[in-house]
């Protein structure tokens, strides 16, 4: 097989459920470096600020983004499902560093073994058939429960918050302010975040 970049994904498609809604300046800079930023930008709301409200509803703080150290505002609104589809379209339509690229969906990496010069991969297609291929590199970007990291004994470092939050995404919202609203009621903190295309996310902390 000729040299190429191969993206292997267990699922049939890119992510469909709502996930990230905020993309930072460093990530947009990375999109610029790989040549996809113009395509992505059509569905990004650049540079939103935050208003903070007391439990009684009065605004006590307004924060607006000013710095553009990497050429983009630090906080920008997007939709992860849209973004992933844009990346997939771009990846499948363009050579990466002049090297042919392909995406194999409905394909699972089920085993791998490091050889002296290459890594040997075993992939399972949707019909259950197995394919063995060799690659110069295997990149472990297989999520929080990464099988690759587990097999290599690499621990996931970091921490998470203890609270549980309920997240609601609305379409065709009437609140089109490109501002995050933080309702700082200790009894029930709530966030309202702007999105592209008249979408809006609400986040409520469970008591
Ligand atoms: C509600 C919610 C809100 C969030 N908000 C934000 C936010 O505002 N900003 C932000 O930066 N982040 C946010 N995040 C986090 C963000 O969505 C994740 O950090 C991001 O999706 C992680 O990307 P990833 O590529 O590392 O992993 P994933 O998105 O999990 O992708 C890994 C992929 O690998 C595939 N895979 C796994 N194992 C195999 C295998 N053996 N063979 C083939 N394929 C395999 C999986 O099917 C999956 O598609 C949010 C997440 C949630 C749930």
Residue 78 lies in a domain: yes
**How far away, in angstroms, is 7 Cα from ligand 1 center?**
15
Alpha carbons 32 and 190: distance in angstroms, whole number:
33
Please report the pLDDT score of residue 134 as a whole number.
96
Which of 30, 106, 143 for a ligand 1 pocket mutation test, highest count of atoms within 8 Å of Cβ? 143
**Is the pLDDT assigned to residue 97 strictly greater than 90?**
no
What is the mean predicted confidence (pLDDT) over 180-198?
95
**How far away, in angstroms, is 143 Cα from ligand 1 center?**
5
Q: Residue 32 in contact with residue 128, Cβ under 8 Å?
A: no
From the CB of 11, is ligand 1 less than 6 Å away? yes
Please report the pLDDT score of residue 4 as a whole number.
87
Residue 121 lies in a domain: no
From the CB of 36, is ligand 1 less than 6 Å away? no
pLDDT band at 135 (very low <50, low <70, confident <90, very high): very high
From the CB of 10, is ligand 1 less than 6 Å away? yes
Q: What is the pLDDT of residues 69-92, one digit of tens each?
A: 999 999 999 999 999 999 999 988
Please report the pLDDT score of residue 47 as a whole number.
94
**Is the pLDDT assigned to residue 95 strictly greater than 80?**
no
Strands (E), the chain: 5-8, 22-24, 49-53, 59-63, 75-77, 101-104, 108-114, 119-124, 130-135, 165-170, 179-183, 190-194, 200-205
Residue nearest to atom 26 of ligand 1 (CA): 143
Please report the pLDDT score of residue 196 as a whole number.
92
From the CB of 147, is ligand 1 less than 6 Å away? yes
Alpha carbons 184 and 192: distance in angstroms, whole number:
12
Residue 139 lies in a domain: no
Domain count, the chain: 1
Query: Looking at residue 29, which CATH number applies to its domain?
Result: 3.30.9.30
**Is the pLDDT assigned to residue 144 strictly greater than 70?**
yes
Please report the pLDDT score of residue 100 as a whole number.
86
Q: What is the pLDDT of residues 99-132, one digit of tens each?
A: 888 999 999 999 999 999 999 999 999 999 999 9
pLDDT band at 2 (very low <50, low <70, confident <90, very high): low
From the CB of 142, is ligand 1 less than 6 Å away? yes
Residue 119 lies in a domain: no
What is the mean predicted confidence (pLDDT) over 150-171?
92
pLDDT band at 207 (very low <50, low <70, confident <90, very high): confident
Residue 71 lies in a domain: yes
From the CB of 141, is ligand 1 less than 6 Å away? yes
Q: Which domain holds residue 38?
A: 4-105+163-205
pLDDT band at 3 (very low <50, low <70, confident <90, very high): confident
Residue 129 lies in a domain: no
Q: Residue 181 in contact with residue 192, Cβ under 8 Å?
A: yes
Alpha carbons 120 and 111: distance in angstroms, whole number:
8
Please report the pLDDT score of residue 96 as a whole number.
72
Residue 201 lies in a domain: yes
What is the mean predicted confidence (pLDDT) over 172-180?
94
From the CB of 167, is ligand 1 less than 6 Å away? yes
Please report the pLDDT score of residue 1 as a whole number.
55
């Amino acid at each position: 097989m000729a040299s190429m970049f191969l993206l292997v994904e267990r699922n049939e498609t890119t992510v469909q459920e709502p996930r990230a809604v905020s993309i930072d300046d460093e990530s947009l800079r990375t999109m610029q470096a790989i040549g996809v930023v113009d395509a992505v930008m059509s569905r990004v709301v650049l540079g939103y600020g935050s208003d903070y409200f007391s439990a009684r509803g009065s605004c006590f703080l307004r924060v607006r983004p000013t710095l553009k150290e990497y050429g983009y505002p630090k906080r920008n609104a997007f939709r992860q499902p849209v973004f992933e589809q844009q990346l997939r379209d771009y990846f499948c339509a363009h050579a990466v560093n002049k090297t042919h690229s392909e995406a194999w969906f409905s394909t699972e990496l089920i085993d791998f073994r490091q050889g002296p010069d290459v890594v040997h991969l075993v992939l399972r297609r949707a019909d259950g058939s197995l394919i063995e291929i060799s690659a110069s590199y295997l990149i472990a970007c297989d999520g929080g429960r990464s099988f690759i990291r587990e097999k290599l004994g690499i621990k996931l470092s970091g921490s998470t918050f203890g609270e549980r939050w309920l997240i609601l995404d609305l379409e065709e919202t009437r609140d089109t302010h490109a501002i995050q609203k933080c309702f700082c009621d200790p009894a029930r903190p709530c966030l309202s975040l702007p999105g592209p295309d008249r979408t809006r996310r609400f986040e409520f902390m469970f008591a």
